[in-house]
Amino acid sequence: MTKLTHIDADGRAKMVDVGEKAVTQRVAIARGAVYMLPETLSLIIDGNIKKGDVFTVSQLAGVMGAKKTSDLIPLCHPLPLNQIKVSCQANVEKSCIEIEALARVSGKTGVEMEALTAVSVSALTIYDMAKAVDREMQIADIRLVYKAGGKSGEFRAADFNEAGLVE
């Protein structure tokens, strides 16, 4: 059975010591979605949400969120991100906005939490901007779909499609 890295021998939470780990190139991609009424999605696509351009604001919020990950998640190391890209795309068929975040770092620990935080903050921003017209929106499906670098190597979700949203 795999041992949890953030728990000490006495069962207490601890921050992992990465001092002896090698600096490697690390990347993570996370995805999620915000499901909404078709009418709400149409308002967003047409730019008719009173708070402004939902796509641009939520993408910027995702970038800002990724940069604040260690302030939000107690045991995350602060990372000097090399890159964070967030993309939001309307999916009319599913009546949702799909979100994808890619995070890169040259470091001793991975960037999975930064990618997941970017997607989460982007989704929350979409909800905030459109809640006046649709309080039943659902934030869903937030998950890691790809990571590479570090001792544990590469991870690909079974349904990972490299032709994602992020360029």
What sign results for the dihedral spanned by CA atoms 60, 25, 15, 31? Answer: positive
pLDDT at 65: 98
**CA–CA dist 62, 117 (Å, integer):** 7
Mean pLDDT of the chain: 91
Please name the amino acid found at residue 33.
A
Mean pLDDT value of segment 80-105: 97
**Contact assessment for residue 86 and residue 101, using Cβ atoms and an 8 Å cutoff:** yes
Residue 1 has pLDDT above 70, yes or no: no
**CA–CA dist 96, 23 (Å, integer):** 38
Mean pLDDT value of segment 14-27: 80
Mean pLDDT value of segment 67-80: 94
Q: What percent of the chain has pLDDT over 70?
A: 89
* Cα torsion through 147, 81, 13, 72, rounded to 10: -110
**Contact assessment for residue 37 and residue 134, using Cβ atoms and an 8 Å cutoff:** yes
Entry pTM? 0.90
pLDDT at 21: 78
Distances (CA, A) of 31 to 80, 91, 92, 103: 22, 14, 17, 12
Supply the CATH classification number for the domain 24-149.
3.30.70.640
Residue 23 has pLDDT above 70, yes or no: yes
Residue 16 has pLDDT above 90, yes or no: no
Q: Which residue has the higher pLDDT, 35 or 22?
A: 35
pLDDT at 126: 98
Please name the amino acid found at residue 24.
T
Q: Which two tokens stand for residue 52?
A: 């402004």
Task: Report, as residue numbers or ranges, the catalytic residues.
Answer: 128
